[in-house]
Amino acid sequence: MNVKPLSDRVVVLPNPAEEKTAGGLIIPDTAKEKPLAGKVVAAGPGTNEIKMEVKVGDEVLYGKYAGTEINIEGTDYLIMKQSDILAIIG
């Protein structure tokens, strides 16, 4: 991937949406919820005021409407500010 985020932005690969419920029912595409977790695949250097706390490879949780969807080489990613990330799963 040839994307290098600037300042305090990160590129996240969202986890795939659930295909089935716990009871085994298949969820149609129109009813699937956007995943709220993903893996950081690129991170900017931060700024003088904002230190980057996430790094490539971190599993993160983010808000429902966080980030901007981008498509790179056929794969959908989200690009967002570090402040849109709620937590690092670890």
pTM across the whole model: 0.80
Alpha carbon distance 37, 62 (integer Å): 6
Q: List pLDDT tens digits, range 1-12.
A: 688 999 999 999
> Could you give the domains of the chain?
9-16+28-89 (2.30.33.40)
pLDDT higher than threshold 70 for residue 35: no
| Closest to 66 (Cα-Cα) out of 10, 3, 17, 27 | 10
The size of the chain, in residues, is 90
3-state helix/strand/coil string of 15-78: CCCCCECCCCCECCHHHCCCCCEEEEEEECCCCCCCCCCCCCCCEEEECCCCCEEEEECCEEEE
